[in-house]
């Protein structure tokens, strides 16, 4: 599959870029996508929730009154979970939610997500560009010329582009990241994936091989 390459002013360059079919035209694996999304979201959970159980709350451990003959319901100590001020039954405890996938599964998940975008013509390629200073207006004008304004955009840069990143800080529908940092969730959340030429080369070189890639 070939896609048009756009210049940094939004005008077609007259050249095309080939999307590697082993990266952008595979049969998507929905189960692997789900596993990778679950992995990414699990790594974002702190797992620090904690409640006090009956052995941790303040109060006497003696039985409040005798078992029979009072006319009241049977009751234990004041720390019982059914009493006000008592401990929490089966309360939250700090835990690690993280789980992992092997490298081949992570690559397959990203290739599957990219293949979904390519199948719907939601991948565009633009020449490598940098900004001398943050320029939000210039970035929005570029998106308008590309016909992607008003959509959720993932802009993958070939290298860390601080000025481009700062330019998008006030644009809630734009996610600017270095290509090595994008993951399956970033791809799926975007309506359109805008790749710099260098970013496309990196994805092609890394995702089409069996070499280890960053998580």
Of 76, 96, 116, which one is at a domain's C-terminal end?
Answer: 96
The count of domains in the chain is 2
Chain centroid offset of residue 89 CA: 34
User: 203 and 159, same structural domain?
Assistant: yes
Q: Are residues 102 and 91 in the same domain?
A: no
What digits encode the pLDDT tens for the residues 50-72? Answer: 999 998 998 888 898 899 999 98
- The predicted model gives 4-25 an average pLDDT of 89
Judge if 86 and 141 occupy the same domain.
Answer: no
Q: Which two tokens stand for residue 209?
A: 């091989």
Same domain, 78 and 90: yes
Domain span at residue 88?
46-96
Same domain, 37 and 53: no
How much is the average pLDDT of 207-212? 66
Domain CATH for 188 = 3.40.1370.10
Beta-bridged to residue 175, according to DSSP, are: 154
Q: Are residues 53 and 132 in the same domain?
A: no
- In this predicted model, what pLDDT tens digit does every residue of 159-193 receive, in sequence order? 999 999 999 999 999 999 999 999 999 999 999 99
- What's the whole-model pTM score? 0.81
Domain assignment present for 215 = no
Q: What pLDDT is attached to residue 213?
A: 47
Residues 183 and 177: their CA atoms lie apart, in Å, by: 10
Instruction: Give yes or no for residue 215 having a pLDDT over 70.
Output: no
Is there a single domain that holds both residue 50 and residue 20? no
Q: Final residue of a domain: which of 65, 96, 127?
A: 96
């Amino acid at each position: 599959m070939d896609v048009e390459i756009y210049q940094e002013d939004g005008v077609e360059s007259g050249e095309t870029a080939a999307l590697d079919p082993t990266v952008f035209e595979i049969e998507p694996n929905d189960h692997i996508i789900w596993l990778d999304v679950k992995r990414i979201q699990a790594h974002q959970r702190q797992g620090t929730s904690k409640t006090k159980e009956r052995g941790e709350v303040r109060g006497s451990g003696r039985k409040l009154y005798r078992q029979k003959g009072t006319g009241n319901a049977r009751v234990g100590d004041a720390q019982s979970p059914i009493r006000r001020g008592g401990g929490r039954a089966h309360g939250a405890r700090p835990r690690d939610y993280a789980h992992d996938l092997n490298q081949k599964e992570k690559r397959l998940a990203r290739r599957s997500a990219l293949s979904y975008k390519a199948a719907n013509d939601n991948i565009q390629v633009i020449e490598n560009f940098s900004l001398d200073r943050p320029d939000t207006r210039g970035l929005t004008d570029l998106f308008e010329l590309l016909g992607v304004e008003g959509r959720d955009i993932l802009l993958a840069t070939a290298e860390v582009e601080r000025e481009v990143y700062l330019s998008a800080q006030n644009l809630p529908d734009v996610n600017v990241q270095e290509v090595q940092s994008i993951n399956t969730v970033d791809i799926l959340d975007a309506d359109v994936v805008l790749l710099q030429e260098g970013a496309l080369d990196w994805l092609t070189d890394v995702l089409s091989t069996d070499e280890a890639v960053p998580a």
